[in-house]
Chains A and B, each alone.
Chain A
Amino acid sequence: MGIAVEGLTVRQPATGRTLLSGVTFEVAPGESVAIVGESGSGKSLTVRAMLGLLPRGLEAAGTVRIAGERVDDDPRARARQRGGVVSLLMQDPFTLLNPLRGVGRQIADGLPRGADAKAEVPRLLAEVGLPADVAGRYPFQLSGGMRQRVGLAAALAGGPSVLVADEPTTALDATTQREVLALVRRVQRERHMAFVLITHDLRLAFSTCDRVMVMYAGRLMEAGGAAAVRREQLHPYTRALLAAEPPADRRLAVIPAVAGSVPAHDAVADRCAFADRCALAVAECRDGVPELRAVRDEPGAPAGVPAVRDEPGAPADVSAVRGESSAPAVRDARLSACLRATELPAPPAPEPGVAPALPVTADPVLRVRDLRRTFAGARRPALDGVSLSVAPGEVVGVVGESGSGKTTLARCVAGLERPDAGTILLGGADCSDYGRMGRGAVRQARRTAQMIFQDPYSTLNPARTVGAALGEALWADGRPAAPDDVARLLESVGLGRDMAGMRPAGLSGGERQRVAIARAVAGEPRLLICDEPVSALDVSVQAQILGLLAELRERLSMAMLFITHDLAVVRQIADRIYVLESGRCVETGPAEQVLDAPTHPYTRALLASVPDGSSGWLA
C-alpha cells in the first residue's frame, strides 16, 4: 500500500542524457515524506516520473507501485488511478487553476462519477477552510493562499489515498505558507493519506514531515526520520545544505557556502556526486557511485504517524478509498550514500551570532520622506507615507509580505516608478521625480544609486554577451571599457574572465545574479538597491550571493537598501530594519532589536512564520 518506487531512472532519449537514477523509496499510508533538494537535484522529476507526468521528451524506467498496483508499465492503470488513488498539488497557485472556469465547477470536474457536486463541493471547500460561496468565483478573484486551498480541494475531490505536493507554498508569503502547510498536514492526517512533499527547504521538511529524503544531482544522498536527520546529518551534503540556510535567530559572521554548483547527473556518473565539492572526500569517493545503505537503526526515534486512522468523524467516502488500516511502519533506519557516513566528524557546534555594525551618524546617502504612490484602479495605496534613511555604508533592510509596498519603494528610489507625493533625496540631490530632472542630474543619480532585481533569468538582455553588458555599464559610468576592466569586474564578483564571451542563456541562476551585481557595482555606486536579490536562488547559491554582497559592501563601502520577505536573510545582512505592512512602516529599529524584541504584532507574525525545523512549528 502507499507508494513503493524502486530503481527509478529518468532519461532524455534525444540527447542520451540521464537525469536521475537509482531512486528507491517507500511511503506508507498515513506517512509523510519530504524529498528535499536544490534545483537540478531531480526531486520534481522523481515525482513526475512516479505519477507518469514527465514533460515531453523524457522517459522513465524502474518499478512504481501505487496502492499495491504496479503502474510504471501500464498507462491505463495510471489513468485509472489519477484523482481517485493518487493526486498532485502543484507549486504555483496562480497557474494551477483554469483561469476561465468557476472554482466550484473545477472542483466538481474531479469528483468521482455519480457524485453529487452540490453536496460535495461545499464539503470540500469547508475541509480546506473556505466558505461555500467561493465556489461561484473565478480564480482571478481569489488571493494566492485561497487559490492554493482551492487547488488542494480540487486535488482531494477524487478521494485519493496518496497525495503528492510539489513545492506547494514556495510562491506564497511566509505567513500564508505556514497556514497552507498546516492545512495540508491536517487533511493528510484526517484522510490517512500517504503524503510526499517536495521542497527545497530542509527546515520546512523537518517541521512538516515524518521522514526526509535528500537528493542531489539526480541521486538520493540521505534518508531518515525528520527528527533524527535534524539532530545529526549523515551525509556531508545534507550538512552543507542545512548550514547554508541562514538562521533567523542570529547573525552569522559568514554563511557557510559550498563553492560551485550542482553538477549534471552524467558529469558525476562514476563517483559520489558531491565528492568534488566535499571537504571530507577521499580517493575512494571518486572510485564509484556509493550506494545508499543503512548506517544504523534508531529504534528510539519517535514515530511520526498520528493515531487518527479510524477517527469516527471521518467522512464515509474517505474511509472507502483508504487502504487497509495496517499500522504504517515508520522505517527508522538511517540511510546515507556517503562512504564515510560512520566516521564523519561530529557536526560543528552552531556558530555564535555576531553583532551588526554600529549605527553611522554621517549625512544619509538616501533620505525618503512621506512617500506616497497609488496605482490606477487599486483599492488602497501601494505606499502610504513611508519615510526612511540610509547612512553611507549602512545596510537597511525593508521587510514585508507581497502587497506591502516594498518593491514599489525600491522602484521609486531607483526612478523606475514616479511617486505621487513625498521626497527622495539621493546624496542630497532631490530625485523625487526623475522625469523633471536634467540629463546631468539623472546621470548623477544613477551613479549614486544602482539596482539589482529578483529574477536573474530576466534581468540580463539575452542577446548580449556578459562582456558587452558589463562594458556598457562601465561606459555609462564614463569610463572607457578596456577589456581588462571587464575582466577585473568579473573577478570582483567571483566569476572567471572567460565568462565575458558568454551569453546569459549559458549561465546558471547564481552566475546570472553575479553578472547583474557586477553590472550594478561597475560604477561603484554609493547605494545599491537590492530587490529580493536572493529569493529566486537555491539556498547554497543564496549563501554565496549574500557572502558576495557582504564582501562588496566592505570593499566599496557601499550602502544598501535591501528589500526582502525573508527574515532569516535580512538578519544576516541588515544593520537596521523597516517593517512595511500595506504601504505603511509599522516598525523600525536596529536589526537585532526588531528581530529579537518585536513590538508590532505584524512583525511577530512574520517572525513566527519562519520555519525553525521543529515539529511544533505548524501547530
Chain B
Amino acid sequence: MFLLRRLAGTAVVVALLSIGVFCLLYLAPGSVQQTLLGTRPATPETIAAIQARYHLNDPLPVQYLSWLGGVLRGDLGTSIRTGMPVADMLGQRLPLTLALTGYGTVLAVLVGIPLGVAGALRRGRAADRLVVTAGVVGLSAPPFAVGLLLLVVFAAGLGWFPVYGVGEGFADQVLHLTLPAVALAVGAVGMLVRFSRAALIRELDQDYVVFARARGLGAPAVLGYALRNSLVPILTAAGLIVTGMLAGTVLVEVTFALPGLGSLLVDSVTFKDVPVVQALALLLTLLIAAVNLLVDVGYSAADPRVRLGGRPS
C-alpha cells in the first residue's frame, strides 16, 4: 500500500519533469530549426526534413506527445554532433557512470558509517573529535579539487594508480576507477559521518536503550537496537549522497578523462547538442527518482510503522 503510493508519486514526478526536459528544446537560444540543424546547411530540404522529423508544425502538446512516444519506444533522437542515435551513445556511457557512482557509494558507506558509529560510541573523547573534524574537512572539499590532489599525489607522484582511462578486465577497471571513486566519496563520507553519528547519539540516549541495558542485554544487542533505529536518518543521507554523486560525476569524469555520462554532458552542452542534453537530463531524472524510490523502500523495510501505517512516535 505504502509502496504503491510512493510508486504513483514517483511516476507523477517523472512525468512532470519530462515536460520540463522537452521544453529544453525551446529554451535553447535561437529558433528550434536552427538548434536542431546545428552546423548543417539550412537548405529548404533539410528544414523540411527537420520539420517532418520533429513534427514542428503541430501544436506543442502534440509535439510533446510524439516526442514522449519516441522516448518510450527507445527513440531518443539523433545526435547533432556525431549523427549517431542518442540511445546508443547513452548505452555506451551509462555503465561507467553507474559503476563509478556505485563504487563511490560503497566506499562512502563502508568508511562513513563505521566512523560515525565509532564517534557516537566514544562521544566527547579524542577519537570522536578526530572523526567530527575529518567529517567537516571531507564535507567542505569539492570533488574536483580532491580529484586533482589525488591525481598529483597517488598517480603522478607515487605512481600507484593510472592517471586516466578505464582499463581492461575487471581488476584493471577497478584500479582505474579507484581514484575517481575516492574523489567522489570524500564529501559523502563527511556527510554520512555526521548523520550516522548524530542519529546514533540520539538513539543511545533513548529510554529503550537504558531499559535494554537494565534488563541485561549484551552490548552488541543494545548497539543493534540503537543502530536499527538510526537507520531511517542514515538512509535519508545515503539517498542524498547517491543523487549528489550522480551530479558530481560530471566534474570527476572530466578531471580523470573518463568516458562516462558526465563527460558526455559537458561535450554536448559545449556543442549545443540539444537531443543528447535532453536525453541525459531525462536519464538523470529517472536515476534520481529511482534512488529516491529505493530509499522509500528502505524506510518501509527498516521501520514497521511506515509499512503498517502506524504513527512514528
Check if B313 is an interface residue, CB within 8 A of chain A. Answer: yes
Q: Is the Cβ of B215 less than 8 Å from the Cβ of A155? A: yes
Q: Is the Cβ of B313 less than 8 Å from the Cβ of A140? A: yes
* One of A25-33, A86-94, A337-345, A384-392 at the interface: A86-94
* Chain A residues closer than 8 Å to B310, beta-carbon distance: 138, 140-141
Interface positions of A from 387 to 422, Cβ below 8 Å from B:
none
Check if A84 is an interface residue, CB within 8 A of chain B. Answer: yes
Smallest CB gap from A164: residue in B: B214
CB distance from B144 to the nearest CB of A (A): 40
- Asked, given contacts A90-B207, A141-B308, whether A154 binds B215 with beta carbons under 8 Å apart, the answer is yes
- Asked, given contacts A82-B213, A140-B310, whether A98 binds B305 with beta carbons under 8 Å apart, the answer is no
Q: Is the Cβ of A97 less than 8 Å from the Cβ of B217? A: no
Interface positions of B from 200 to 218, Cβ below 8 Å from A:
206-208, 210-217
1/0 per residue, CB under 8 A from B, across A84-112: the answer is 10011011101111111100000001100
* Chain A residues closer than 8 Å to B206, beta-carbon distance: 95
* Chain B residues closer than 8 Å to A87, beta-carbon distance: 214-216
Check if A225 is an interface residue, CB within 8 A of chain B. Answer: no
CB distance from A224 to the nearest CB of B (A): 28
Check if B311 is an interface residue, CB within 8 A of chain A. Answer: yes
* One of B18-26, B46-54, B221-229, B269-277 at the interface: B221-229
* Chain B residues closer than 8 Å to A101, beta-carbon distance: 225, 228
Out of B210, B217, B302, B304, name the residue touching A90 (CB < 8 Å). B210
CB distance from A73 to the nearest CB of B (A): 19
Out of B208, B210, B215, B217, name the residue touching A99 (CB < 8 Å). B208
* Chain B residues closer than 8 Å to A98, beta-carbon distance: 208, 212, 225, 228-229
CB distance from B307 to the nearest CB of A (A): 10
- Asked, given contacts A95-B206, A141-B310, whether A90 binds B216 with beta carbons under 8 Å apart, the answer is no
Check if A158 is an interface residue, CB within 8 A of chain B. Answer: yes
A138 CA / B312 CA spacing, docked (Å) = 12
Check if A269 is an interface residue, CB within 8 A of chain B. Answer: no
Check if B303 is an interface residue, CB within 8 A of chain A. Answer: yes
Interface SS of A by simple majority: loop
CB distance from A53 to the nearest CB of B (A): 6
CB distance from B250 to the nearest CB of A (A): 38
A613 CA / B17 CA spacing, docked (Å) = 68
Interface positions of B from 21 to 60, Cβ below 8 Å from A:
none
Interface positions of B from 208 to 250, Cβ below 8 Å from A:
208, 210-217, 221, 225, 228-229
Interface size on A, residues (CB 8 A): 30
A294 CA / B302 CA spacing, docked (Å) = 57
* Chain A residues closer than 8 Å to B308, beta-carbon distance: 138, 141
Q: Is the Cβ of A95 less than 8 Å from the Cβ of B216? A: no
Q: Is the Cβ of A109 less than 8 Å from the Cβ of B217? A: yes
CB distance from B205 to the nearest CB of A (A): 8
Out of A84, A91, A96, name the residue touching B216 (CB < 8 Å). A84
Q: Is the Cβ of B305 less than 8 Å from the Cβ of A138? A: yes
Smallest CB gap from B210: residue in A: A53
CB distance from A197 to the nearest CB of B (A): 15
* Chain B residues closer than 8 Å to A88, beta-carbon distance: 211, 214-215
Q: Is the Cβ of A109 less than 8 Å from the Cβ of B305? A: no
* Chain B residues closer than 8 Å to A81, beta-carbon distance: 216
A255 CA / B255 CA spacing, docked (Å) = 78
* Chain B residues closer than 8 Å to A82, beta-carbon distance: 213-216
Q: Which of B212, B228, B311 has the most CB of A within 10 A?
A: B212
CB distance from B146 to the nearest CB of A (A): 36
Q: Is the Cβ of A99 less than 8 Å from the Cβ of B213? A: no
Q: Is the Cβ of B229 less than 8 Å from the Cβ of A109? A: no
1/0 per residue, CB under 8 A from A, across B279-313: the answer is 00000000000000000000000111100101111
Q: Which of A83, A90, A100 has the most CB of B within 10 A?
A: A100
Check if A151 is an interface residue, CB within 8 A of chain B. Answer: yes
Check if A252 is an interface residue, CB within 8 A of chain B. Answer: no
Out of A83, A95, A140, A158, name the residue touching B207 (CB < 8 Å). A95
A141 CA / B304 CA spacing, docked (Å) = 10
Q: Which of B211, B229, B308, B310 has the most CB of A within 10 A?
A: B211
Interface positions of A from 150 to 194, Cβ below 8 Å from B:
151, 154-155, 157-158
Check if A51 is an interface residue, CB within 8 A of chain B. Answer: yes
Q: Is the Cβ of A109 less than 8 Å from the Cβ of B212? A: yes
A100 CA / B308 CA spacing, docked (Å) = 11
Q: Is the Cβ of B302 less than 8 Å from the Cβ of A97? A: no
* Chain B residues closer than 8 Å to A151, beta-carbon distance: 211
A81 CA / B212 CA spacing, docked (Å) = 13
* Chain A residues closer than 8 Å to B228, beta-carbon distance: 98, 100-101
Q: Is the Cβ of B208 less than 8 Å from the Cβ of A95? A: yes
Q: Is the Cβ of A99 less than 8 Å from the Cβ of B212? A: no
Out of A100, A109, A154, name the residue touching B304 (CB < 8 Å). A100
Q: Is the Cβ of B207 less than 8 Å from the Cβ of A99? A: no
A53 CA / B216 CA spacing, docked (Å) = 12
Q: Is the Cβ of B313 less than 8 Å from the Cβ of A110? A: no
CB distance from A164 to the nearest CB of B (A): 8
CB distance from A101 to the nearest CB of B (A): 7
* Chain A residues closer than 8 Å to B304, beta-carbon distance: 100, 138, 140
- Asked, given contacts A98-B225, A138-B308, A141-B308, whether A157 binds B313 with beta carbons under 8 Å apart, the answer is no
Enumerate chain B interface residues (CB-CB to A < 8 A).
206-208, 210-217, 221, 225, 228-229, 302-305, 308, 310-313
Enumerate chain A interface residues (CB-CB to B < 8 A).
51, 53, 79, 81-84, 87-88, 90-92, 94-101, 109-110, 138, 140-141, 151, 154-155, 157-158
24 contacts between A and B (CB under 8 A): A51-B214, A53-B214, A79-B216, A82-B215, A82-B216, A83-B214, A87-B216, A90-B207, A91-B207, A95-B208, A97-B208, A97-B211, A98-B228, A99-B208, A99-B305, A100-B302, A100-B304, A101-B228, A109-B212, A110-B217, A141-B308, A151-B211, A157-B215, A158-B215
10 nearest A-B residue pairs (beta carbon): A83-B216, A88-B214, A82-B216, A140-B310, A95-B207, A96-B211, A110-B215, A83-B215, A98-B225, A98-B208
Q: Other than the known A83-B216, A100-B303, A155-B214, what 15 A-B pairs have Cβ atoms closer than 8 Å?
A: A51-B214, A53-B213, A81-B216, A82-B215, A82-B216, A87-B214, A90-B207, A95-B206, A95-B313, A96-B211, A99-B305, A138-B308, A140-B305, A140-B310, A141-B308
